[in-house]
Structure 1
Amino acid sequence: MASPPQRTKRKPVPRHRPRNSGFSRTPPPREDGPQRIAKLLARAGVASRRDIERMIAEGRIALNGEKLTTPATLLTDLSGVTVDGKPVRPAAATRLFRFYKPQGTLTAARDPKGRATIYDKLPPGLPRVMPVGRLDFMTEGLLLLTNDGELKRRLELPRTAVVRQYRARAFGHVTQDQLDRLAEGITIEGIHYGSIIANLERRTSRNFWIELSLTEGKNREVRRVLAHLGLQVSRLIRTAYGPITLEGLEPGDADEVLQAELDAFRAALK
């Protein structure tokens, strides 16, 4: 079975950068005026806006002891707001982490079947974080984690068009011309997948590596598109999410994105 191309080794990246490593702990910028409670709670890292809307419908969120009935409630801050009876802490400074998700883990908080989740594999010491998007159970590689539900939402929105990069090890036969046609988009079983830039990287017998770049990230998109071309994917690695790369991490490792990198990433979002 073919192995990934050899790359220049870099100094290992620690699971956590030291407290004095240069990333900022300054408070997030203030937003004046009332805001929807769903946005405030997402910003505070309680959950995504969609999850917060569901929590309100379930009667789990209250203001001054009274259960809220709509996520459109406008507030200037979270004073008096409780979730499951517990006061909500003010929003902390936005933080973003890189995590090398190992194979055989779910991007979920828990699994009724008892399978391992990313939270079983995260190194100790991280704050409460949420994954940006998902990776399939057997897909490995870069998963971004944040304490800011609003940033999570922005990075996941299709209109933001953040480029995700993957490397797939596959078995079968495909030509570069076939891969080039993926740039026009493709419809499979009624589902349309947008432009994918794909290039053959290395071949050994009938095993080879393909590099792919896409912006949609639909469920099992890479696997389904390559299967449609008659390929069997034996390994799939996400190597980058926007400008943030996997470089320097091993499966199970995590570290924090420097504040300057995070600021530049946010500024570049549509």
Structure 2
Amino acid sequence: MRPAVTACAALATAAALWSWLRRRRRRELARRYAYELLGDPRVRRSLDPYPSSTTVAALSALTGVATAKIRKFSAGARDGACARPWHADGAPRAGGRTKRKASHYYFVLHKPLGVVTQRDDASTKTYVPRPGRNDKRWRPWRRQYVPTVYDGLPDGFPPVPSVGRLDKETSGLLLFTDDGALTTRLLRPGSGCEKTYVLDVTGVVSDAALASLSEPLDDVTKHTREKVRTAPARVKVVSRSDEGARVEVVISEGRHHQVRRLAARAGFAVEALHRKAMGPLRLDDLPVGAARPLTPDEVQTLLSNCGLEKKRGPPRPLPVAAAPELTRAAVEAAIDDLVRRHP
């Protein structure tokens, strides 16, 4: 009896070891030939025209490729050879560049209150205290994700990066595009892209306070910690009452909490903050939480202001159909092909 038990245990151990070595080998191949795996037709089907957050997270965990790089690859994953978003419509490489003009997504969202402008990751977790208690101890089971602007995007609008941010308690116009050059130039100080905010403030709205609201603000850059001074803001009183006023502020830069810091320096308490315009873009009657693609004229104006009109093709149409979710069977079949090609 004992020899049979020993033999069975040995067989079970050998099978478990073989299974572990097999899984390890497959994981190593997936990481070593990550972009070959991403270019597999069965995997590419879940990347075109844009992948879901679940698909991107699964592929990132499997291949070790950063989620941002997977999204960039997906923008050009047509024939498995194009891994950069500015290679539009599957254009082949030509000395590292494409002869076609790049094509991108452009749309605006009417951001609601209570959501943050970033992707859903660990940095959006927040502590949720138990009602009636003042317990500040860190407890991971009492943390939850804060909703992001990407959670509420309408169907057919891809989760491309936003141009700048609006904080959790600010609503209004938020521009989204995968055109990195345009984003960089719009956010650069002195770009000429003015942002118009409407503030509901409480306090004594005197001429001196309004003058302080429009004066330049001393700030430091985020990375180099260099001291800078912002350009003066333009201020206009929309309405005024005994308790406060509604003020319109136009700034040409986008420093961290710039408008709120200007209001605090002027002695105002901000009750509500709303961005109603950004350069030539307006919300008009767009409902809260809704999104709309930019018109060709709006895209052309933005590109002309940034000197990119000759380098861009027509914008990609919106909305688009989302790519299907990645399945385990598709991944296993793609890895099987890797094993056969790289024994």
TM-score normalised by structure 2 residue count: 0.51
Amino acid at match of 2:192: A
Which of residues 299, 302, 325 is equivalent to 1:262?
299
Q: Distance in 1 between matches of 2:208 and 2:290?
A: 37
Map residues 32-111 of structure 1 onto 2, 5 A cutoff. 60=65, 80=81, 90-91=87-88, 93-110=103-120, 111=124
1:124 to 1:180, Cα distance in 2 relative to 1, 3 A:
same
Shift in Å, 1:95: 2.6
Amino acid in structure 1 at the alignment position of 2:196: Q
| 1:234 partnered with 2:234 | no
State whether residues 108 and 174 of structure 2, in contact with CA within 8 Å, keep that contact through their aligned partners in structure 1. yes
Relative to 1, partners in 2 of residues 1:90 and 1:139: Cα closer, same or farther, differing over 3 Å? same
Distance 1:205 1:242 in 2: 33
CA contact (8 A) 1:180 1:197 kept: no
Residues 110, 288 of structure 2: 8 Å contact kept: yes
- Quick one: which of 183, 186, 205 aligns to 1:152? 183
Alpha-carbon distance, 1:184 to partner: 4.2
Structure 1 residue 207 displacement after superposition = 2.3
Q: 1:174 is matched with which residue: 205, 229, 232? A: 205
The one-letter amino acid paired with 1:97 is F
Paired with 1:107 and 1:153, the residues of 2 have a C-alpha distance of: 17
Instruction: Tell me by how many angstroms 1:188 deviates.
Output: 7.2
Distance in 1 separating the partners of 2:228 and 2:202? 24
The corresponding residue for 2:287 is 250
Greater share of helix residues, 1 or 2?
2
Instruction: Give the secondary-structure state (helix, strand or coil) at the position aligned to 1:250.
Output: coil
What is the identity, as a one-letter code, of the residue corresponding to 1:263? Q
Greater Rg over alpha carbons, structure = 2
Identify the residue that residue 174 of structure 2 maps to in structure 1: 143
Pick closer, same or farther for the CA change 1:229–1:147 going to 2, 3 Å. Answer: same
For residue 174 of structure 2, give the secondary structure of its aligned residue in structure 1.
strand
List runs of 5+ in structure 2 lacking aligned partners.
Answer: 1-49, 52-63, 67-78, 90-102, 127-144, 221-226, 308-343
Distance (whole Å) between structure 2 residues aligned to residue 204 and residue 134 of structure 1: 31
Instruction: State, as a whole percentage, how many aligned pairs show the same letter.
Output: 30
2:44 corresponds to: none
Does residue 197 (structure 1) correspond to residue 234 (structure 2)? The answer is yes
Return 5+ residue gaps in structure 1 as ranges: 1-44, 47-58, 62-77
Q: How many equivalent residue pairs? A: 196
Instruction: Tell me if the contact between 1:108 and 1:118 (Cα under 8 Å) persists in the aligned partners.
Output: yes
Aligned CA-pair RMSD: 3.0
| Structure 2 residue aligned with 1:217 | 254
What is the identity, as a one-letter code, of the residue corresponding to 1:104? G
Distance 1:149-1:188 versus aligned 2 partners, 3 A rule: closer
